[in-house]
Amino acid sequence: MERLSGLDASFLYNETATLHMHTLKYAVLDVANVEGGFTVERLRHELERRLHLLPPFRRRLVEVPLGLHHPVWIEDPDFDLDLHVRRVGVPAPGGRREMDELIGEIASWPLDRRRPLWECWVLESLADDLDDPAAGPPSGTRVGFLVKMHHAMADGVAAAALLANVMEVEPDAVDPPPPLEAWRPDEVPTAWGLVVAALVDGVANLRALPALLWRTVGGLRAVSRRRRVAEVSPPLPILHTGRTPFNGALTAHRAFATCDLALADVKLVRQAFGVTINDVVLGLVGGSLRAHLLAVDALPSRPLVAGVPVASDAGSTDRLMGNKVSNLFTTLATDVADPVERLAAIHAVAGAAKEVHNLLGADMLGDWSEYAPPRLYAWFMRQYSRFNLADRHRPPINLVVSNVPGPRDPLYIADGRLAGIWSVGPVVEGVGLNVTVWSYLDQVHVGVIGCRDHWSDLHVVTDGMQAALAELLDRAEPATRMPAESDAAS
């Protein structure tokens, strides 16, 4: 039995009938060299052999009586792999649009909390060329695998580590390492045992509160001093945000879209204008949304504000579950028409946002989450969703943009080669757009999710990002080259 951290548990409390807090991890495998093909039965077999490498996958929640503390994880004594593995065919012709629409439908259904909080879907009948499905009927050499995993289980860093844990760097290494010890399910704890453990842990949390208060006051004072003298400061949530058509109350329905960008092109833009990879990603999103909002006559006078998740244990490769993440808030400079000037403004404000984030401390969000009252928090979020309160005030931010550096070497599982991977986090009330990029090999894979009732076609965002990159590349060619900054996304 292991108690969820306050940050992990907050993703549970945020969840309502219209706000789903699962994340999506989607991979396409090239299975041309897999003898007999990669069927759902083969997937189930390979997953079963690797469950010891996926620690969260056999854990389920147990709530504490009266909501006295955050829930606990137990090794599920009723775990049944068959309840988590499913299959579905992508409608003809099996291209990117059909694939994305199907994933959006799957994302619209919440996970069952009576079981471990994940599902794996096998997507069959994919076209050989997702962007040109008319080139020929599917040959069966491409298979999609969609893992829907609750955010309480893992953040982007942990999810990347889980992926690395079950994949191989050589195509012939088909046998996973054996478990160090046999898996043992837990007994379901008694109500009395849960209450006693909650009270003991609660007392320990109270002892840590004075130090947290002192650290928080010091951080806020440091930020206040910086804002008084700094030439550039990051935007403040709510106070500095404008409203867009996708900033409002959610419904349960989701739309999903993907695209792929050449990593070499992104690096060229970074080098030409002396910015970071993260800045380029923000610039592409900003350029796309500015063009879209102008087209529908909905561009606010205030620049869009993005929340950017930042790992508080950046560089970690061995954490396989849980969340170690905070957020910084920065501009997309959508009030700037020129794309190069917009990128420069994003670079300046993002640098200031990092300074503020460091002054406050990367762990502050997680530390304060420990004191969230479970029942009150969850009740408030249900009422907030039920009465569509997000329609009645400015959004805290406009969207989330996340950048997760992925593997730089080819990965394989049971002779299948990983051809591409896309990921996306949830959308929340008032913040109806999430853009996540994962780099893999020489590609940047973009995943976008939004509330379907806010978007007639979410591919306008991914198409716009491709157009924004082309625009910056045109300007980069004659630009004076500047020393490249580190490839690391931070």
Specify whether the backbone of 6 is left (phi greater than 0), alpha (psi in -120 to 50) or beta: alpha
Mean pLDDT of 364-388: 95
- How many angstroms separate the CA atoms of 305 and 239, rounded? 11
Tell me how crowded residue 224 is: count the other CB atoms within 10 A of its CB. Answer: 10
- How many angstroms separate the CA atoms of 461 and 314, rounded? 28
Alpha helices in 296-388 (DSSP H): 339-360, 364-369, 374-386
Strand segments, DSSP code E, in 185-298 are 254-262
Task: Tell me if residue 20 is catalytic.
Answer: no
Tell me how crowded residue 221 is: count the other CB atoms within 10 A of its CB. Answer: 11
Chain Cα centroid distance, residue 49: 27
| Averaged pLDDT score across all residues of the chain | 93
Question: At CA 223, angle to CA 220 and CA 229, rounded to 5?
Answer: 145
485: pLDDT strictly greater than 50: no
Distances (CA, A) of 328 to 244, 252, 312, 400, 425: 21, 27, 12, 10, 16
User: Tell me: the pLDDT tens digits for 393-441?
Assistant: 999 999 999 998 888 889 998 888 999 999 999 999 999 999 999 999 9
181 or 485, which is more confident?
A: 181
Q: Which residues have CB under 8 Å from 126's CB, separation 6+? A: 28, 90, 94, 99, 138, 142, 143, 144
Which of 22, 151, 357, 459 is an active site residue?
A: 151
Name the CATH architecture for the domain at 2-193.
2-Layer Sandwich (3.30)
Enter the pTM of the model. 0.93
| 137 — pLDDT class (breaks 50, 70, 90) | confident
Instruction: Give the chain's radius of gyration (CA, Å).
Output: 23
**SS3 for 299?**
coil
- How many angstroms separate the CA atoms of 121 and 24, rounded? 11
User: Tell me: the pLDDT tens digits for 265-307?
Assistant: 999 999 999 999 999 999 999 999 999 999 999 999 999 999 9
| 317 — pLDDT class (breaks 50, 70, 90) | low
Q: Do domains 2-193 and 203-410+429-476 have the same CATH topology?
A: yes
| 482 — pLDDT class (breaks 50, 70, 90) | very low
- Chain position carrying tokens 């403004």: 345
- How many angstroms separate the CA atoms of 28 and 418, rounded? 6
Distances (CA, A) of 361 to 154, 163, 212, 414: 21, 28, 11, 42
What's the pLDDT score for residue 178? 87
Mean pLDDT of 44-67: 95
Contact criterion met (CB below 8 Å) for 143 and 41: no
User: Tell me: the pLDDT tens digits for 160-178?
Assistant: 889 888 888 888 766 888 8
CATH class of 203-410+429-476: alpha beta
User: Tell me: the pLDDT tens digits for 322-360?
Assistant: 999 999 999 999 999 999 999 999 999 999 999 999 999
480: pLDDT strictly greater than 60: no
| 484 — pLDDT class (breaks 50, 70, 90) | very low
- How many angstroms separate the CA atoms of 329 and 331, rounded? 7
62: pLDDT strictly greater than 80: yes
- How many angstroms separate the CA atoms of 2 and 230, rounded? 44
Tell me the torsion sign for CA atoms 179, 181, 182, 186: negative
- Please report, for the chain, the start and end positions of each structural domain, with discontinuous segments joined by +: 2-193, 203-410+429-476
